[in-house]
């Protein structure tokens, strides 16, 4: 009859192997957890940047459309005070956005006074005088050119996320039909 090793001497090897396997599984879980946390931080930073970008675009659109019911938009007449309700405690060209509606401002956007980059006179033949009161007021008979011109304006907005500090600078151009009397003093 063959005699093997006693059963008690093998139990130590199983314990050592079990401890090694437990250590390997623990390292895998810790590594996976760190990867997930890093991915979450990356996604949060991307979301913060996109939120700031959207706020900057919204502020530029608000600056362009403010007071545009008449012939001259507000940003032409008052480039240093484009918004009727600016962000409290900030500059007159600043807007604040509470994106998550918790009562505190999440993004602050500063819109620089726009700069006029070019002006092109508008011929009377390009005006829609029968369907637009604004364009009809530009008509100047019997000449070729009207009393209005298209001015191209360059807007720049800087948005900063209050929580993450993400900063986004957005530039946008717009062409606006304006009376020559108003843009003559502000455009080259």
How far is it, in rounded angstroms, from Cα 106 to Cα 165? 10
Residue 51: cis peptide before it, omega within 30 degrees of 0: no
pLDDT at site 89: 84
**Collapsed DSSP state (helix, strand, coil) of residue 94:** strand
19: number of CA atoms within 13 Å, CB side?
A: 6
Predicted local distance difference test score (pLDDT) of residue 36 = 93
- Per residue of the chain (188 residues), give pLDDT as tens: 556 565 555 667 888 888 999 999 999 999 999 999 999 999 988 998 999 999 999 999 999 887 755 556 788 888 888 888 888 888 889 999 998 889 888 899 999 999 999 888 889 888 888 888 878 888 888 888 888 888 899 999 999 998 888 899 999 999 988 888 777 777 76
CA distances from 49 to 53, 97, 104, 110, 160 (A): 6, 14, 18, 16, 9
| Rounded Cα–Cα distance for residues 17 and 92 (Å) | 70
């Amino acid at each position: 009859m063959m005699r093997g090793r006693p059963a008690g001497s093998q139990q130590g090897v199983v314990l050592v192997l079990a401890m090694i396997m437990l250590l390997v599984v623990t390292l895998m879980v810790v590594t996976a957890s760190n990867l997930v946390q890093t991915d979450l931080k990356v996604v949060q930073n991307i979301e913060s940047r996109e939120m700031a970008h959207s706020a900057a675009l919204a502020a530029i659109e608000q600056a362009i459309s403010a007071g545009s019911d008449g012939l001259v938009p507000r940003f032409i007449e008052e480039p240093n005070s484009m918004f009727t309700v600016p962000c409290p405690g900030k500059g007159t060209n600043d807007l604040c956005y509470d994106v998550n509606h918790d009562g505190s401002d999440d993004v602050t956007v500063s819109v620089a006074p726009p700069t006029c980059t070019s002006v092109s006179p508008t011929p009377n033949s390009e005006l829609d005088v029968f369907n637009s009161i604004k364009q009809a007021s530009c008509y100047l008979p019997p000449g070729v050119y009207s009393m209005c011109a298209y001015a191209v304006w360059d807007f720049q907005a800087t948005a900063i996320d209050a929580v993450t500090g993400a900063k986004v600078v957005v530039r946008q151009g717009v062409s606006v039909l304006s009376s020559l009397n108003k843009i003559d003093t502000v455009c080259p």
